[in-house]
Each structure stands twice: as structure tokens, then as C-alpha cells.
């Protein structure tokens, strides 16, 4: 550390080596053993379910808003005794929010699609090796 000054200058007089000590080696799935693939597949599947739970928790306020608007439209129509523009608009807004939230819940996001593709690739390789 004697070569680094407080003002940001680096004065190296001789060899300067940086050792990373990183032990992470990335391999393609095709180069992994069957045991490694069998261990990797549940990990990827669990990532998908964790992401789904996070997505549902993020969308809970939207579910609540849709339910609140449905009840508000029903109470407004009950109070007025007839169907008017406000109750129609609140009902339509609640239906739109509810549909959009359900669509976002069941449609996989990019992370889930990538993890599912990895699971599918692992399954395909294991079938080709006749492990499954």
C-alpha cells in the first residue's frame, strides 16, 4: 500500500501484481456432470418460486385497491338507488386494475423466464444423457 498516495496518485516502482483469489469458475451446463445438474435444477426452480412470492407481495396493494373500488362502486350504487356514471366508472376502474394485476401475477417476468429456460436446458441435457 506504500505505492498509493492520499491524493489518488499511484507510484509503482517495480512489479505490481493484483491477486483476485476468486474461486468461482463458470461452466456451461453441457460441461457439468449429471450430479451437478441434478443439484442445480432444484436451486433454479426455487428461484422461480421465490420471485413469484416477491411479485405477489409487491402486487398486494393493487389487489386491495381493486377490491376497495368494487365495494365503493357497490355502496355508491346502493346509496344512489340507481346506476349512474360514477358507479360505472368505479366498477370499470376496479375491473381494469384487477385484470392488470392478475395478468402481472400470472405472467412470468424476465428473471422467471431466464430461470425456467435454465431448468428446461438442464432437463434436456439430463434426458440426452439418459439420467432421466
H or E element: which one contains 124? Answer: helix 110-128
For residue 75, the model assigns a pLDDT of: 85
* pLDDT of 92: 87
Low-confidence residues of the chain, pLDDT below 50? 1
Q: What is the pTM of this model?
A: 0.68
- Strand (E) positions, the chain? none
pLDDT for 23: 66
Looking at residue 90, its pLDDT comes to 82
Amino acid at each position: 500500500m506504500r505505492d498509493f498516495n492520499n491524493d489518488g496518485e499511484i507510484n509503482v516502482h517495480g512489479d505490481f501484481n493484483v491477486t483476485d483469489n476468486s474461486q468461482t469458475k463458470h461452466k456451461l451446463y453441457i460441461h457439468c456432470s449429471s450430479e451437478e445438474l441434478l443439484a442445480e435444477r432444484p436451486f433454479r426452480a426455487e428461484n422461480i418460486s421465490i420471485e413469484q412470492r416477491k411479485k405477489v407481495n409487491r402486487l398486494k396493494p393493487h389487489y386491495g385497491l381493486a377490491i376497495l373500488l368494487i365495494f365503493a362502486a357497490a355502496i355508491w350504487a346502493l346509496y344512489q338507488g340507481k346506476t349512474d356514471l360514477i358507479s360505472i366508472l368505479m366498477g370499470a376502474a376496479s375491473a381494469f386494475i384487477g385484470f392488470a394485476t392478475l395478468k402481472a401475477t400470472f405472467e412470468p417476468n424476465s428473471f422467471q423466464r431466464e430461470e425456467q429456460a435454465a431448468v428446461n436446458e438442464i432437463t434436456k441435457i439430463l434426458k440426452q444423457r439418459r439420467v432421466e
